[in-house]
Structure 1
Amino acid sequence: MGQTVLSYEQLADAAGTDLGYSEYRVVTQEQVNTFADATDDHQWIHTDPEKAKDGPFGGPIAHGYLSLSLQIAFWSELFDVTGVSTRVNYGLEKVRFPAPVPVGAKIRMKAVIAEVEEVKGGYQIFVDQVIEVEGAAKPSVVSRGIYRFYA
């Protein structure tokens, strides 16, 4: 579908804009291990592929928060706003991890701008974001991102 680019002035009317899907990217064991080092979360279901083979998921899985953090990379593929001086990742609402992301899986994100609010000096948008594993029945991450754009 490609990147949606709106001007700052167009944000006011952006509610309902379907941003489509990002490209797929593979989640690697190296990424998982680096994330484990950064967060000090070395639980074996993430970092020990041999032990994880006999675990509940049949192999190692990415941390939920690693999968969530990849929204930033996906986001830049899907959306941009011109005519702004500052962009702020303001937060998240209703984050859920319905299904694991197996190491080696291909994931992508779908996003829809659900709401737009005017805030002092700019606009705040609420984006429904879903990360899915290729071929999986359930999504892996479901959240509503909140982003601010200032002129």
Structure 2
Amino acid sequence: MNQLICKNFEEFRKHEGKPLPTGDWLTVTQEMINAFAEATQDFQWVHVDLERIKKESPFKKPIAHGFLSVSLLSKMLMDLLVVESFAMGVNYGLNKVRFPHPVPVDCRLRLHSSIQKIEEYGDNGLKITWDCSVEIEGIEKPACVAEFISLMFEK
């Protein structure tokens, strides 16, 4: 796995405006889709009703919830980045979120991202705006495109 490794926030700030390495592939399974449906109480049939999907869905197989793609951004970003002085992070928000293509079950996703903006946040934190595009293997359009904003705090 390619990772950006920084000793501290000072070193991390030097990467503002630059791309991160491309993420590793992650397979979206029916178990993940079902767990997301359970957690969010979103049991829309196109995600979980396998018999109805075979008969009625234009996709002919289950598709993941669009918000599952967004939910994976935190994990995908943290897989690409190590800041050794990092203590904790929290999600701050999203801008310009779109789901250009549905995510079929058992497909593989990977993240393409860059650090758009880094701002100071409080005494020991940063507010980071990430440009994110979640690629679906073998499909031209991405699963999700978003500006993702998070807070990071140093030890």
Q: TM-score, normalised by structure 1?
A: 0.91
The residue type paired with residue 64 of structure 1 is G
The residue type paired with residue 101 of structure 1 is V
Q: Which string of whole-angstrom CA distances, capped at 9 and with x for unpartnered residues, describes residues 3-34 of structure 1?
A: 10122112333212211211111111111111
Q: Which string of whole-angstrom CA distances, capped at 9 and with x for unpartnered residues, describes residues 52-108 of structure 1?
A: 123122211000111211112211211122223332222221111111000111111
Aligned to 2:45: 44
Seq. identity, %: 41
Kept after mapping to 2: 8 A contact 1:14/1:116: no
Unmatched runs of 5 consecutive residues or more in structure 2: none
Q: CA deviation at 1:36?
A: 0.9
Aligned to 1:134: 137
Task: Tell me the distance in 1 between the aligned counterparts of 2:83 and 2:51.
Answer: 45
Aligned to 1:34: 35
Task: Tell me the distance in 2 between the aligned counterparts of 1:84 and 1:20.
Answer: 19
Aligned to 1:84: 86
**Counterparts in 2 of 1:81-120, with a 5 A limit?**
81-120=83-122
Is the alpha carbon distance of 1:73 and 1:150 closer, same or farther for their aligned partners in structure 2, counting shifts above 3 Å? closer
Is the alpha carbon distance of 1:140 and 1:119 closer, same or farther for their aligned partners in structure 2, counting shifts above 3 Å? same
Kept after mapping to 2: 8 A contact 1:12/1:118: no
Unmatched runs of 5 consecutive residues or more in structure 1: none
Q: Which runs of 4+ in 1 moved over 3 A?
A: none
Give the paired residue count.
151
The residue type paired with residue 16 of structure 2 is A
